[in-house]
Amino acid sequence: MENPISVEELLLKSARIEDPLERAAFLHQTVLPQADTLRRQVIKNRAKAVAAAKRTHSYSKLAKELNCSKPLIQQLSSAGTR
C-alpha cells in the first residue's frame, strides 16, 4: 500500500501551480476533500482519547488541559465511546 500524500504536500504542490484557475480547481477538488478527511479523523481520535482519559482524570482536569468547556468534554467522551 502506497503512502498517501499529506495535506501539507498537496498545499505545497498547489503553490507551484501557476494558473490561478487550475490552482483553485486543484485546491477545491483535491486538497479540500483530503483536509476534510484529516479533520474528521482528528476529531474522531480526539474523542476516543478524551473518553480514555476520563477514566483517570476529572472533567475539570480535561477541560483545563484542552482549554475547553466541561460540556464539550462530556460530549467528546460520549462520542468517543460509540
Query: Rounded CA gap, 27 and 81, in Å?
Result: 34
**Is 50 contained in some domain?**
yes
Is residue 73 included in any domain, yes or no?
Answer: yes
Assess if residue 57 is contained within a domain: yes
- Check residue 69 and report its DSSP letter: -
Tens digits of per-residue pLDDT, 17-65? 999 999 999 999 999 999 999 999 999 999 999 999 999 999 999 999 9
| Any domain includes 65 | yes
Angle (CA) 1 24 8, round 5°:
40
Q: DSSP 3-state assignment of 18?
A: coil
Domain annotation covers residue 1: no
Q: Examine residue 67 and state whether it is found in any structural domain, yes or no.
A: yes
Specify the pTM.
0.76
Range of the domain at 38: 7-80
Amino acid in the structure at residue 4: P
Q: Measuring CA to CA, which residue among 16, 8, 82 is closest to residue 47?
A: 82
- Whether residue 2 is contained in a domain is answered as no
How many domains in the chain?
1
